[in-house]
Amino acid sequence: MIPIRYNLRSLAVRKTTTFATAFGVALVVFVFASALMLSEGIKRTLTTSGNPNAAIVLRKGSDNELSSVIETPTMNLLLAAPGVKKEGNHPVGTGEIVGVNAIEKLGARGVSNVQLRGVTDVSGKLRSDVKIVAGRAPTPGSDEVMIGERIRGRFRGIDLGQTFELKKNRNAKVVGVFTAGGSSYESEVWVDLEVMRAVFRREGVVSSVHVLLDSPAAFDGFQAAVEQDKRLGLLAMREVDYYEKQSEGTSLFMRTLGSLIAFFFAIGSMIGAMITMYAAVANRQREIGTLRALGFSRRSVLLSFLIESMVLAVLGGAVGAIASLGMGFVKFSMMNFASWSEIVFEFRPTPGILFSAVALSGLVGLIGGFFPALRAARVSPVTAMRA
């Protein structure tokens, strides 16, 4: 077998073509890894919104809270269902109203939907990771709100001490900023439930009912009690399952888009690698002839040029993967297809994503270098020595 240091020396000698090809592969890997990281960030943001000990109830046929309506008397029946955790004689659960409001974005033209959530004092008990990091909690019954950390300063009036319109001629003042463990709640505005009812004219109803269960095992009994009465037409889900379902559409879209972009970039990189290796074969006819004369077989020459192409591609892939780690500090906002409101996501790198990205670069090198390597293996030693 031809020593690998021969290939490494060859790459070092051809600095310009080596750099150009490696840069092309690095760009492919960067785009591919970034798309996967954003998809993972979308999934992580939405799935961490769910509590494994909690359940959500929606109107059957509704895909999300925005399109669901549950009457208040029905909500009281749900809170009395078996499996709901109690503190003293009070069930730990509440109804919430979800709506959207079009607000002007800062630093960009146009407006975008921001999700509003009507909450009660029980809402905080259902989400133990919610912490106020600036300001204070709103006064119940007032036109005061608190906002998630991720949307702070991204919309006009959405910052501590500022005001914005909940509805025409009705302003709300931001008195607090909260975090929620990186979940989608950090992209919401929380309003008092009764204020939301008045603003959106939804008296006597809620969008959904959230309850804390005695344990995850209690869900089956709770679900049976909720869904056995067909007249109510309700659907009970574990919160983690609900939010995972909410992430599917947006996550799939980003994965598909990123993969398509990476695919076309990869084709370009394969062509670049192929041109580079063809040029190397043409300029190294004497070297190939010498190798054959020294007794190296066609298979050894083929393998050597394949290794050289793959080393070049993996080198570029490693650079692209390392560069993609910088996206972990970037926050990206986009429309969530499930709720039609803007959510701020983070790029989430994982070892699996980085491995897949580098593996893609190896594949680019393998495919791009195969035909030039095959040509090198077929070169006649006598012809090569005369070149």
Q: In the predicted model, what is the mean pLDDT of residues 164-187?
A: 89
Beta pairing, strands 188-192 & 111-119: parallel
Domain count within the chain: 2
Q: Are residues 212 and 84 in the same domain?
A: yes
Instruction: Indicate the residue among 232, 257, 288 that finishes a domain.
Output: 232
Residue 374, in any domain of the structure: yes
Kindly state whether residues 279 and 134 are assigned to the same domain.
no
Q: Which range has the worst mean pLDDT, 158-162, 173-177, 324-328?
A: 324-328
Q: Does the residue 134 lie in any domain?
A: yes
Amino acid in the structure at residue 363: L
Is the predicted pLDDT of residue 158 greater than 90, yes or no?
yes
Distances (CA, A) of 162 to 7, 33, 47, 159, 165: 63, 38, 30, 6, 11
Residue 108, pLDDT score: 67
Instruction: Check residue 382 and give its pLDDT.
Output: 62
Reduce the DSSP state of residue 14 to 3 states and report it.
Answer: coil
**Confidence band of 105 (pLDDT split at 50, 70, 90):** confident
Domain containing 65 equals: 61-232
Residues 202 and 316 in one domain: no
Overall average pLDDT of the 24-33 stretch: 85
Q: Are residues 106 and 69 in the same domain?
A: yes
- The answer to whether 154 and 163 have CB atoms below 8 angstroms apart is no
Pairing of strands 208-212, 144-148: unpaired
Q: Answer yes or no: are the C-beta atoms of 66 and 339 closer than 8 Å.
A: yes
With beta carbons less than 8 A apart as the criterion, state whether 197 and 203 touch: yes
Please determine, for residue 384, whether its predicted confidence score (pLDDT) is greater than 70: no
Q: Is residue 239 part of a domain?
A: no
Residue 32 falls inside a structural domain: yes
Q: What is the per-residue pLDDT across 232-291, written as a single tens digit (0 to 9) for each? A: 889 999 988 888 887 777 777 777 777 777 777 778 777 777 777 677 676 677 777 777
Is 141 exposed, middle or buried, given 0-12, 13-18 or 19+ CB atoms closer than 10 A?
exposed
Are 39 and 356 within 8 A, CB to CB? Answer: no
Would strands 111-119 and 163-167 be described as parallel, antiparallel, or unpaired? unpaired
- 204 and 67 co-located in one domain: yes
CA separation for the pair 125, 141 (Å, rounded): 19
In a domain, 241, yes or no: no
Answer whether 43's CB lies under 8 Å from 345's CB: no
**Residues 209, 355 within the same domain:** no
Q: At which residue do the structure tokens 């035909």 appear?
A: 371
User: Quick check: is 103 in a domain?
Assistant: yes
The reply to whether 215 and 314 lie within a common domain is: no
Torsions phi, psi for 256 (to 5 deg):
-65, -45
One domain, residues 183 and 122: yes
The answer to whether the pTM exceeds 0.85 is: no
- % of the chain beyond a pLDDT of 90: 28
pLDDT tens profile 185-210: 999 999 999 999 988 888 889 999 99
Q: What is the pLDDT of residue 339?
A: 66
Helix, strand, coil shares, percent, the chain, to 5? 55, 25, 25
Same domain, 23 and 130: no
48 DSSP 8-state letter: T
